[in-house]
Amino acid sequence: MDTGDRLLTPGEVAALFRVDPKTVTRWAAAGRIGSIRTPGGHRRFRESEVRALLEGEGEFDEDNPPGSPSPASPPGAGATPRAAGSRPGGY
Amino acid sequence: MDTGDRLLTPGEVAALFRVDPKTVTRWAAAGRIGSIRTPGGHRRFRESEVRALLEGEGEFDEDNPPGSPSPASPPGAGATPRAAGSRPGGY
DNA sequence: TGATATTAGGGTAATTCGGGAC
DNA sequence: CATGTCCGAATTACCCTAATAT
């Protein structure tokens, strides 16, 4: 039950994602990422969760590496399955 | 009645919140978190209260799976005796 | 008695918050 | 629709020295 992961500051998460801290705040506000608030109102994020998001947890597919001339148009191969049910926060 | 009345030092609380020990002291000075003072003037915090703050103060319930450890409310466990929804200073 | 690690206190910079607009 | 930047305000982080706790 130990969630024992480090907590990251908005600036840390922003640097990891290469986005603005404000954007990270928006994600948290939208419920797209879990956030813990300090008594002062500042947010802290779990490193485990951020890492999972960075790895592309729940979102993989759509790959067409250059050099993979795969015709990519398989007749019945439902390409690009836009799975939309794997979003943390499930929305 | 041991609901975990273990006392934590400012450094412990600071590590849990990923903040500076000084910040934890500031919370206590602002009355945002209960604090017990040693005869020497140092502060100690209750693990129960710190944990409640970490889990999310106000937005977590709806979870009482059968078999869950009795969250319970043993006597003398006053967790959250302090109102934490107040933001003096306006925010 | 000693020594070491942590904490308290004050002050100043950096970060984050919140909302609204482009 | 999502992202980045602007503002003012609050919160937090790091600097220091002295006192306390173990």
Query: Model confidence over B16-60: pLDDT tens digits?
Result: 999 999 999 999 999 999 999 999 999 999 999 999 888 765 444
**β-bridge pairing B7-8 and B36-37:** unpaired
Q: Which of B11-15, B21-25, B38-42, B87-91 has the lowest mean pLDDT?
A: B87-91
| Buried b / exposed e along A8-39 (16+ C-beta atoms within 10 A) | bbbebbbebeeeeeeebbebbeeeebbbbbbb
CA–C1' gap, A59 and C14, in angstroms = 35
Query: Does pTM top 0.85 for this prediction?
Result: no
| Cα–Cα distance, A90 to A53 (Å, whole number) | 14
pLDDT exceeds 50 at position B84? no
Task: Assess B17–A contact: CB distance below 8 Å, yes or no.
Answer: yes
Residues of B in contact with A41 (CB under 8 A): 87, 91
Which tops the pLDDT comparison, A63 or B76? A63
What value does the mean pLDDT take over residues B58-86?
Answer: 40
